[in-house]
Structure 1
Amino acid sequence: MEEKLIQKIQRSDRPFLVAGPCSAESAEQMEMVARDIALNTHAQVLRAGIWKPRTRPDSFEGVGQIGLPWLVEAAKNNGLLSTTEVANAKHVELILKAGVDIAWIGARTTVNPFAVQEIADALKGSGIPVMVKNPINPDLNLWIGAFERLEKAGLTDLAGIHRGFSVYNNPRYRNQPNWEIPIALKEERPDLPIICDPSHISGKRENLLPIAQKAMDLNFEGLIIETHPNPEKAWSDARQQVTPTALREMLSQLTLRRELISEDAQNKMLLMRDKISGLDDKIFELLTARMLISEEIGVFKRDNDITILQQEHWKKMIATRLSKATDLNLSEAFVREFMDALHQESIRHQTKVMNPNLGD
């Protein structure tokens, strides 16, 4: 029986590596990049976009069907598997006919259950491995739903691709990583390997390494990196692609840490975790005490016809806490999110007191 993609990922030396250009441009380009990837890295899979879902209609949208044999033959010639993105049933029909080894579903498609269902129906009975990118918006259930639709169609050789989430005008990322989403996917579906896509998260080749390192530190199984023989002249996404030799250098700088540790190390970590657990107990005890006071305030507001939301007071509270974040060695983003959550829970408690018949 042929080994599944999941098995290849699980038994490979981390990271399992998928590499290749954003777009297939010519047979020569694909052969060159496949050869150089095979020579310079431990990549197992050659990727290339055949159809490119672009934001603006006048952008390069891929060479189309003529590029499929370029991808398949370049991969086979260099001992690699091949993969490309599919967005509809016609794409599925063409990649299966061309002999592409692995399909992937892109972020713009994952967000649409109708499109995912169409692809699942078209793939039914093929047994082809499928990698599913997270949807463009941070919705864990949409991502899980895509896997479930494929599984209902009999496709069980699946992996996730974390490529980040669309945001407007972020100065650091092309797509915000929102690491909590793939971590939640691991919690919900520990059977699914996750491959990180630093190229689409960063949008800039110089930022690939820290993102790839974080993915490895979070115990992701693999990486998918856009790799081009001449990135500056790439027909799409030139800014985020690297040469095969640059990819080799980047991979050499990754620190791969272990998940399993010695019994002695486990015992030492257990002592530290016990300390954290004790502190967590105290934190929740303090939160409970705080909410009891919030309920007292709710009674006072109810009896004096005062609104729950006191905007000026809230603004002062936020400003005070944010001003102390650095001194406390906490990020402003964490402090803001924590205070927002605290405020919402306080509002919930006061609402319960002031309007007991309205529920939460």
Structure 2
Amino acid sequence: MITELFPSNKSKQNEAPFVIAGPCSVETPEQLMTTVGQLKKEGISWIRGGVWKPRTRPGSFEGVGEIALPWIQAAKKEFGVKFAIEVASANHVELALKHDMDMLWVGARSTANPFTVQEIAESLKGAKVPVLIKNPINADLSLWQGAFERFQKAGITDLAAVHRGFSNLREQVYRNSPMWQIPIDFKRTFPEIPMICDPSHIAGKRSLVQIIAQKALDLSFDGFLIESHHQPDLAWSDAAQQLTPQALGEMLKNLKTRSIHFEGVQMRNQLEEIRAQIDQADHELLEAIHRRMTLIEKIGEYKKLNNVAVLDLDRWKEIFETRPVWGQEMGINEELIQELFALIHQESVKKQTEILDKVD
């Protein structure tokens, strides 16, 4: 089972996370052998490598295909490592199993297509190979959950999730927006399924990979799927985000693991006391929202009585401009305030519209 690959006792601090690392794409036998050899020296025994590379647009390098599979077998034999590759069709699955691949993953583009997910799941019936499922390209939690449900209904339960971020037109820092709340929500639905982070695809730049990896550890992720190439600047795909094996080894040494359990009665009591204060603050927050919604209902009744339109853009502009300023004075993140009041305004418009539409 894939769960056996992860640290058995997460209460231990400084315990190394499970790592799968290797090139974005398997390019040549020489590139593969050199990279795997260097990764093995860094203590990496699980290797990843793209054989087929589904791309957003044609014309990009899409992998060397089936000819890479014997190269991988040779690397496994030479260095005593295990190998994971991406599959995007039943034919890929057949070839991967024929060449003794140790782990498979379903990529973000495949996860976005339920027909493809179903095809892969059906082709894996009876196979004894762990499967990683990446989140879909867009921020759709249900689509990600549905992919796991399709595999489970096909009798495949040796599964893990891979968080690789989501496409977002507004994202300016990372290649893909982390949107950490989505994998957290996934874990709430499937607590038994391990969650792995792909910091390479979230970061998009090698200088940001460690930042993302540390954040994942802080959120109790179970491991990493990381891209590494012995000459990353010369890589045929995703050159900017790949680390050399030596840089990867150094990064892993610098990551700080966190204990998810509390040692000692005093620590537990202090934490519970703070949590009780948070519960009280949340209750007061909900009371404030309830009070605001009661006032919104009064506004709605007034507008109905005086035949006034629900949406007042000047008023909304005033709220949207002033609330972040108020929050900033309290040290609250501006983006949080904007998102919070956007939701509150949406609910306010809904309530007022219902009042206007109600027949007396």
Q: With structure 1 as the length reference, what TM-score do the two structures score? A: 0.95
Question: Quick one: distance in 1 between partners of 2:77 and 2:312?
Answer: 66
Question: Quick one: distance in 2 between partners of 1:72 and 1:5?
Answer: 21
Aligned residues: 354
Q: 5 Å matches for 1:10-21?
A: 10-11=7-8, 13-21=15-23
| Paired amino acid for 1:338 | L
Question: Quick one: distance in 1 between partners of 2:130 and 2:137?
Answer: 22
Q: Deviations over 1:152-171 (max 9, x none)?
A: 11111000000000123632
In structure 2, the partner of 1:165 is 166
Question: Quick one: distance in 2 between partners of 1:160 and 1:357?
Answer: 49
In structure 2, the partner of 1:62 is 63
Deviates further, 19-28 or 72-81: 72-81
Matched, 1:305 2:320: no
Q: CA deviation at 1:348?
A: 2.7
In structure 1, the partner of 2:105 is 104
| Paired amino acid for 1:104 | W
Q: Deviations over 1:99-150 (max 9, x none)?
A: 1010100000000000000001111111211000000011111111111111
Matched, 1:335 2:332: no
| Paired amino acid for 1:28 | E
1:103 touches 1:131 (CA, 8 Å); kept in 2? yes
In structure 1, the partner of 2:12 is none
2:125 touches 2:156 (CA, 8 Å); kept in 1? yes
Matched, 1:191 2:176: no
RMSD (Å) for aligned C-alpha atoms: 1.5
Q: Deviations over 1:190-242 (max 9, x none)?
A: 01001100100010000001100000000000011100000011111100001
Q: CA deviation at 1:71?
A: 2.0
Change (3 A) 1:83 1:316: same
Out of 333, 352, 355, the residue aligned to residue 354 of structure 2 is 352
Question: Quick one: distance in 2 between partners of 1:169 and 1:350?
Answer: 31
Question: Quick one: distance in 2 between partners of 1:72 and 1:266?
Answer: 50
In structure 2, the partner of 1:203 is 204
Out of 268, 271, 276, the residue aligned to residue 266 of structure 1 is 268
Change (3 A) 1:53 1:181: same
Q: Which runs of 5+ in 2 are unaligned?
A: 10-14
Q: CA deviation at 1:77?
A: 2.7
In structure 2, the partner of 1:279 is 281
Q: CA deviation at 1:10?
A: 4.6
Change (3 A) 1:157 1:340: same
Question: Quick one: distance in 1 between partners of 2:199 and 2:72?
Answer: 22
Q: CA deviation at 1:72?
A: 3.0
Question: Quick one: distance in 2 between partners of 1:140 and 1:301?
Answer: 38
Question: Quick one: distance in 2 between partners of 1:116 and 1:292?
Answer: 46
Question: Quick one: distance in 2 between partners of 1:168 and 1:257?
Answer: 33
Q: CA deviation at 1:33?
A: 1.2
Q: CA deviation at 1:347?
A: 2.0
Change (3 A) 1:226 1:158: same
In structure 1, the partner of 2:95 is 94
2:7 touches 2:17 (CA, 8 Å); kept in 1? no
| Paired amino acid for 2:66 | Q
Q: CA deviation at 1:303?
A: 0.4
1:46 touches 1:75 (CA, 8 Å); kept in 2? no
Question: Percent of counterpart pairs with the same letter?
Answer: 46
Q: CA deviation at 1:32?
A: 1.4
| Paired amino acid for 2:298 | E
